[in-house]
Chain A
């Protein structure tokens, strides 16, 4: 009987784990759609969801290839309760090429690359010193990257002048 109880307990825990994971993904998806995509325009996103749940002190890195002849926007959207989120762009030798300003609500960087190369997008959630009621906030962060042709962007710029 005890063995059966343990089995049931494990199954219920597994269901609970899956339910929580699904809830987390769904929350991130809706958040990204609402807050991320409009802020990425006029750049075209790459059709891949890169988001996860974070808590203060968490850190993430995304490695991707940026093609010569294109302009890019790297954008971070995070849920308010997480507080300050820092965006850094590093090259493969880990030399820092860009650091966002503290307090930036939607840290982002627009840039173009001369030669195709891999860069590292680093995201850090600031530590929270005063956690009220002993509750650690958890929220979604999405890393969005969009691109457009540099030549097309130059044409648009000339037309607008």
Chain B
């Protein structure tokens, strides 16, 4: 009985600390590990923490815009589809998809479309239990900044960050991995869907080929999760990787030069590919994306 009393005290103490950690002064808290745990802490210290991250859909959309992609509403996931997503897995994947669509519409200053896609994202966030991502205050900020592309994108990014951190906080980080996967796949799809099959734009082909690197990071990220739904996505992405692996890489030494107080990294890798390689990637990503939004 005694040991349960001890445990109750520890749990109560933990929650008490948890409440104070959400205060404004949380950064000043002095969190510690007892000396008794020092040995296990030492062992933990030997294990290196490894993270992976991928560029946001906004960054990918900007890259494709610079490569000459134009706005085509027909390639976006129709807003009516939002009502089809009832499971949390579908909601997470398409929360990522609509986030990419939202970024794409925002880059091309499509305010009306932005509002529609914002509502889709809000609906899915609410379905996932992340009501704080698009709360009343955020929606008001969005309306106020509707015509300011950069401010709007920062608010959207904040909302996606809130969703990501909420899911990680609540032990649902596999959903967070699915959101990132959905957003990444849609970002690549939006770039490749506008590719002219007969006469593809060289810059756009290069931007698509460059996604080889972030696909590696995305696979690295989802491999950290052990969940059947993440495993399904892993298989699809491995299939896409097979297409990307046909692109060859030549690496030269990286250099760092400084000009105007900004360091510039030169060198690195150069990719070699054919039009057929890129068309194969476009076809594979379309199949994956169709499966996500259905």
Contact = CB atoms under 8 A, between A and B. Distances in A.
Interface string A4-48: 000011001101101111110111011110110000000011111
Given A9-B3, A49-B164, A57 B45 contact: yes
Given A23-B18, A44-B58, A60-B51, A98 B263 contact: yes
Nearest to A143: B51
Contact of A19 (B11, B29, B59): B11
Contacts of A67: 55, 59, 63, 210
B30 A47 contact: no
B171 A46 contact: no
Nearest to B32: A135
Contacts of A81: 30-32
**Which applies to chain A's interface (DSSP): helix, strand, loop or mixed?**
mixed
Contacts of B169: 22, 25-26, 29
B275 interface: no
Contacts of A49: 161, 164-165, 168
B4 A12 contact: yes
B142 to A, nearest CB: 15
Contacts, number: 237
Interface residues of A, number: 80
A107 B37 CA distance: 30
B160 interface: yes
Nearest to A50: B51
A19 B15 contact: yes
Interface of A: 8-9, 12-13, 15-16, 18-23, 25-27, 29-32, 34-35, 44-50, 52-71, 79-81, 91-93, 95, 97-98, 109-119, 133-139, 143, 145, 147, 149, 157
11 contacts: A19-B14, A22-B169, A32-B165, A48-B56, A50-B53, A61-B51, A64-B53, A70-B59, A92-B251, A98-B263, A115-B268
Closest CB pairs A-B (n = 8): A134-B35, A117-B268, A47-B160, A60-B49, A23-B18, A25-B169, A46-B56, A27-B21
Interface of B: 3-4, 7, 10-11, 14-15, 17-18, 21-24, 26-35, 37-38, 41-42, 44-45, 48-56, 58-59, 62-63, 66, 99, 150, 153-154, 157-158, 160-161, 164-165, 168-171, 180, 210, 213-214, 216-217, 220, 251, 253-254, 256, 260, 262-270
